[in-house]
Structure 1
């Protein structure tokens, strides 16, 4: 796959899956543009400091006229019994996972149209299609991400803009730190996955590159589980 002369915006590239995708695309020669609260370490990019819960008027004005891809990776892990969730918990998860993506895509839609073949990559979770206790808030928000993925894929297909999502299970990122904070917790999480381990950020780079590349130009409207078998196997 060649990403030379491709302009890719990665939102949430400062850690975890977003950083792994940025590193992989950088190695393939992409022109990277990043947006997050912190500057990604080891990534050569034009960086925009942005908290996805804040208004974005004008912050993308420094980007080039054409974008070939947008990757939106910010997420949350807020797990507890349903009756302990407040409405603010649901609002916060929705704002970070859904409304931030909506804002970024709307602000850059004109740039994507000019590419004559662009790709949007969003992130869901295995918990949307696989019922899991204590996941009510994040599953609700990520379910909206899946709806957004398919709706945008349908609406933007005529403009040759594709939209897909990856749906991870538990992945060893800073966001999942508390869930993997002891050897006992890590061992238990490994055993829950049919493949025998939790994910790593690097497990997502090959699929991300395919969906962002010209080789993936006939793939749109898909939610692809990268979850160690968690979503489909017993």
Structure 2
């Protein structure tokens, strides 16, 4: 069985990934809380990506897969954004990834071929109003992933999933009533917003041997939003 480390895995997409991986892998969840994990056969490691350094002594010598889940959704007009918002979005969405990967790089390279899965956003590809801060941070993730994939091929595969709005606690304020849900669904060519399982299944695929010839890619799990223009 593979050793898979999830940074964040107690809620939303991370929890959905943990559930998908639960029975066939050794799963380690490094997160601030173990809430929602009690029914899963996973090892929890208390960890705050913003303030902690990952304790490698609690991890196996070989890590076959890493998924970094923490993120933010700050949607506000550019003129009202302070530099602190850009810095905090960059920290949680991107810079903490660098810290985690550098910390566990020996374990990743000890695998025959490890897989890193990161998260971007449809907003990094599409020009969307009020997304300047998060789009900038997610754009950094995409550029970093491609460069890292090139540098560590064929030893480490690195791919990015770029979802559209997905029904998670992070997105609750955008989907917390029927009107918002209907409007969000209508914006997508496939006429629904995302579910955590939609994204989790792509992550599990990218971690698996079935994706062993895929690296340096940004895969859009977005209901067709980034590429399809359809008549309403």
TM-score normalised by L of structure 1: 0.95
- Alpha-carbon offset, residue 90 of structure 1: 0.4
* Pair 1:32 & 2:46 matched: no
- Alpha-carbon offset, residue 55 of structure 1: 3.6
Q: What is the aligned partner in structure 2 of residue 212 from structure 1?
A: 207
The answer to which of 141-150 and 205-214 deviates more is 205-214
- Structure 1, residues 117-159: CA drift from partner, whole Å, max 9, x if none? 100000000000101000000000000000111011001104x
Q: What is the aligned partner in structure 2 of residue 12 from structure 1?
A: 8
Could you list the runs of 4 or more consecutive aligned residues of structure 1 that deviate by over 2 angstroms after TM superposition? none
Q: Distance in 2 between matches of 1:165 and 1:43?
A: 26
Q: What is the aligned partner in structure 2 of residue 187 from structure 1?
A: 182
| Unmatched 5+ stretches in structure 1 | none
* Pair 1:221 & 2:216 matched: yes
* Aligned partners of 1:19 and 1:40 also within 8 Å: no
Q: Pick from 38, 43, 47: which aligns with 1:46?
A: 43
Q: Pick from 59, 68, 83: which aligns with 2:64?
A: 68
Q: CA RMSD in A?
A: 1.0
* Aligned partners of 1:13 and 1:40 also within 8 Å: no
What is the SS of the residue equivalent to 2:56? coil
What is the SS of the residue equivalent to 2:200? helix
Aligned length: 227
- Alpha-carbon offset, residue 52 of structure 1: 0.9
| Unmatched 5+ stretches in structure 2 | none
